[in-house]
Amino acid sequence: MSRTTIITDWRTHKTDLSNIRTRVFIEEQAVPEADEWDEYDSDAIHFLVQESNVNAIGCARLLTESNPQGGYLYHIGRVAVLREFRAQGIGHQLMLFIINYCLSTAPDRKIYLHAQTTRRSFYEQLGFCARGSEFMDAGIPHITMWFEAGELQNG
C-alpha cells in the first residue's frame, strides 16, 4: 500500500480529519469533545496521511501564532494516527513532513508542540526538547517541546 501525506484545509477534508481525531482522542483517550474541537481548525494548515490516496489514517494541524518576542511561531498539534496503523513509522514520517514544511516556508520561525508526556521520547527522536513543567490538558499530562534539531534532510 502506498502512503501519501498531503497539505489540506479544514473545509476540504473536515470529514477525514474529524473522523481520525474522534477515534484517537475522543474515543481512545477520552478527551472531552469540548476540549477537542476549537475555533482554530478553520484557520489551521492541516496534514493528512492517506493510504492508496483513499483511506485517511493520520493527521495533524499547524497553527501560526504571534511570538511574544516578535514575529511568529509554528505550533504543531492534534497529531494522530489510527490505532491499526501505529508502530509502522507513519507518525514519524508525518512529523518529518510537517517539520520540513515549516523549515522550507519560514526557516527562522520557531516550532513547538504540547506533547503528551507518554510521547515525549517520540518527539525527542525528531529533535524536540522539553522545556518547562508538565501540565494537564484535557485530563492528560503534557509537556511543551521546542524543535532544536536544525535542518532535516529526509521526509
DSSP state letters, 7-53: EE-HHHHHHHHHHHHIIIIIIIS---HHHH--TTTTTSEEEEEEETT
Per-residue confidence band for 153, with pLDDT thresholds at 50, 70 and 90: very low
Tell me if 24 is assigned to some domain: yes
Write the CATH number for 111.
Answer: 3.40.630.30
Q: How many domains does the chain have?
A: 1
Segments forming the whole domain that contains residue 138: 3-147
- pLDDT tens profile 99-116: 999 999 999 999 999 999
Mean pLDDT, residues 31-52: 95
pTM to 2 decimals?
A: 0.92
Tell me if 152 is assigned to some domain: no
- pLDDT tens profile 70-81: 999 999 999 999
Tell me if 127 is assigned to some domain: yes
CA distance 53 to 51: 5
> Do residues 3 and 51 lie in contact, with contact meaning Cβ atoms separated by under 8 Å?
yes
